[in-house]
Structure 1
């Protein structure tokens, strides 16, 4: 089953209110409204595109070690996946799919990191929960996500909904400003140039891991 097929199946059950979700229809309507407004805003147009230069960053991994973009690129092409947090089931399914595809990426000389605004404690939870062997980096205040053109602030009515559902993003992220990244996936060449970019303001839609393979093969033709 493809990643998107898994996401679609989960979304169907979730929005149908099947156990264990039992989500009221009003909640679904509010989530749809927020997604539709984010799409209509055109925010995704401001994200980095193929040919752009990836902004430098230095972020902490779950153990508190500082990881820089330069150090990651010194090893070869880099896949960067921006995701919302361990509380998001769509994000967890994407991380699992990336983990399953990791051997294909490594055969092409590429490495993989995920970036989330959540605290290192929650990143460690993500690693354990999803059986990941690649690092998750913590992006306080979504500053790196903003540099990639992904950060947005949740509308007040969505903040109210999250609070009613006990989804406390300020606690998850250690940041009082209710922001998230639009899910985004990038392949960056060793020279820092973006070779693949996929951003979707609809968090229930994610590209397949295999979609990046052509860009990785161009980045590492001898490995292909």
Structure 2
């Protein structure tokens, strides 16, 4: 398997997936009266750190929306796995599922095999986070190869608030080739 490094400032790819509530969502297109979107890729139901992170994010959802950023979370889990996971989650943002290996590679994510059948029954993406701006470009990228290395959600919110303030004229960083 090969994955290419996703470049800051590129257009976020068009990826549409089903959500737990029965609809379909395009990952990089904001809704809820927001013009930016936070896409959180999580490992799946088997990951207690993912559960904690998503529940923490729910507690900040209103502040993200105040900053003009809505939220979607996505994993490679099946609908049945998401249904079981929802028993542990207290979230109101969309949970998309069925992320394919090709889509993971398009996003430049690290991909892991389960350690055992107790963990899960499919390849899964390690954590990734993308902030898509109002032009559809990736403004912020954070990709990890392990569940314990993720951005602090309060620090991220503070940074996005700074970036979105037009007085700061803050460009997309990391674009030098």
Shorter-chain TM-score: what band?
A: 0.7 to 0.9
Name the residue aligned to 2:67. Answer: 108
| Distance in 2 separating the partners of 1:116 and 1:69 | 11
TM-score (norm 2): 0.80
User: 2:58 is matched with which residue: 78, 91, 99?
Assistant: 99
TM-score (norm 1): 0.64
Structure 1: state its 5+ residue gaps.
1-42, 171-178
The size of the alignment, in residue pairs, is 164
List aligned pairs for 1:198-213, cutoff 5 A: 198-213=142-157
Cα pair distance change 1:191/1:62, threshold 3 Å: same
Tell me the secondary structure at the aligned position of residue 106 of structure 1: helix
2:16, 2:24 within 8 Å by CA — same for their partners in 1?
yes
Moved over 6 A (4+): none
Kindly state the Cα deviation for residue 143 of structure 1 after the two structures are TM-superposed.
3.4
Name the residue aligned to 1:65. Answer: 23
Tell me the secondary structure at the aligned position of residue 38 of structure 2: strand
Tell me the secondary structure at the aligned position of residue 195 of structure 1: strand
List aligned pairs for 1:209-220, cutoff 5 A: 209-213=153-157, 214-219=159-164
Name the residue aligned to 2:130. Answer: 186
Name the residue aligned to 1:10. Answer: none
Kindly state the Cα deviation for residue 216 of structure 1 after the two structures are TM-superposed.
4.5
Q: Root-mean-square deviation (CA), in Å?
A: 2.5
List aligned pairs for 1:32-47, cutoff 5 A: 46-47=4-5
1:189, 1:219 within 8 Å by CA — same for their partners in 2?
no
More helix by share: 1
Residues 1:138 and 2:83 are matched in the alignment: no
1:145, 1:181 within 8 Å by CA — same for their partners in 2?
yes
Structure having the higher Rg:
1
Kindly state the Cα deviation for residue 76 of structure 1 after the two structures are TM-superposed.
1.1
Cα pair distance change 1:126/1:146, threshold 3 Å: same
Structure 2: state its 5+ residue gaps.
168-177
Q: Which whole-Å deviations, capped at 9, do the CAs of 1:58-99 have from their partners, x for residues lacking one?
A: 110013311124653684100000011011011111111211
User: 1:77 is matched with which residue: 28, 33, 36?
Assistant: 36
Tell me the secondary structure at the aligned position of residue 101 of structure 1: helix
Cα pair distance change 1:86/1:168, threshold 3 Å: closer
Name the residue aligned to 2:171. Answer: none
List aligned pairs for 1:124-135, cutoff 5 A: 124-135=83-94
Name the residue aligned to 2:172. Answer: none
User: 1:87 is matched with which residue: 46, 54, 59?
Assistant: 46
1:79, 1:186 within 8 Å by CA — same for their partners in 2?
yes
